Structure 1
Amino acid sequence: MTGSTNIMIRKLIRSLEKQKKPLWKTVAEKLQTPSRKRWYINLYKIEKYTKPGDIVIVPGKVLGIGNLTHEVTVVALDFSKSAKEKILKAGGKVMSLYDFDKLDLKGKNVRLMKQ
């Protein structure tokens, strides 16, 4: 079997592929990679490349190395405990990638973070 064996991730990939926006199709492609090659993004990178009010999409895991000084909404497959705490402490929001359909992605404030 190729691809993820996790049924929840496979369902997420299928629902992302059905979306009309190219962003979600790109996220679905990245989620199809083996889990050992998935993206891991640290908070210092989110801090460096975002502005207050941005929406950050990570098709992988967000790790807690670094600090966050402004509020951002981070949407990811998974979060470390320290990353979640630091994002919330900075006034940001944490969302699971499984809730992608609840996002209103309009404007230039959406960033797909990659390694």
Structure 2
Amino acid sequence: MMKRVKKTNPRLLKLINDLKAKSREQNVGFWRDIAERLEKPNRNFAEVNLSKINRFSNDNEFIIVPGKVLGAGSIDHPVNVAALNFSLTAEVLITGANGKCMSIEQLMQANPTGKGVRILK
């Protein structure tokens, strides 16, 4: 029988609880979906390169990555990206294209219903 490992990162635990609470409060399944993705093992977290964000996003669109944004590739239009973590290169390139990097917590405050946000994994 395998031992069940629980998450210990306090920021991640609080984020998951906040996402579920926001989902109940707004009656929106979007935040619950993100919470369930973050409850899975860390090795299953999304790792998205800038080239993928560039390919699948439009100008000034909101993108959420339930994992880490990596700096491979380039970005040629402004986009607002919320993620658990950013590599330093990714952060520099997104802000260099007049985009915005934010935490998932910040996006949840700015857009409580999660409307118009695209999930990339």
TM-score scaled by length of structure 1: 0.90
Deviation at 1:98, TM superposition (A): 2.6
Letter in 1 for 2:118: R
1: CA distance between counterparts of 2:114 and 2:46?
25
- Taking a change above 3 Å as real, the CA distance of residues 106 and 21 of structure 1, as seen in their structure-2 partners, is closer
| Alpha-carbon displacement from aligned partner over 1:47-100 (angstroms, at most 9, x marks no partner) | 001100100001100000000000000000000000000000000000011323
Deviation at 1:105, TM superposition (A): 6.3
Task: Report the more deviating stretch, 99-108 or 47-56.
Answer: 99-108
What is the aligned partner in structure 2 of residue 57 from structure 1? 64
Deviation at 1:106, TM superposition (A): 7.0
Percent of aligned pairs with the same amino acid: 39
Larger of the two Rg values belongs to structure: 2
Deviation at 1:103, TM superposition (A): 1.8
Task: Report the more deviating stretch, 69-78 or 32-41.
Answer: 32-41
Instruction: Answer yes or no: is the 8 Å Cα contact 1:13–1:28 preserved in 2.
Output: yes
1:17 corresponds to 2:20: yes
Letter in 2 for 1:69: D
1:47 corresponds to 2:54: yes
Instruction: Answer yes or no: is the 8 Å Cα contact 1:53–1:109 preserved in 2.
Output: no
1:112 corresponds to 2:116: no
What is the aligned partner in structure 2 of residue 71 from structure 1? 78
Instruction: Answer yes or no: is the 8 Å Cα contact 2:79–2:98 preserved in 1.
Output: yes
Structure 2: gaps of 5 or more residues:
none
Letter in 2 for 1:113: L
Instruction: Answer yes or no: is the 8 Å Cα contact 2:69–2:86 preserved in 1.
Output: yes
1: CA distance between counterparts of 2:78 and 2:112?
17
2: CA distance between counterparts of 1:6 and 1:81?
21
TM-score scaled by length of structure 2: 0.86
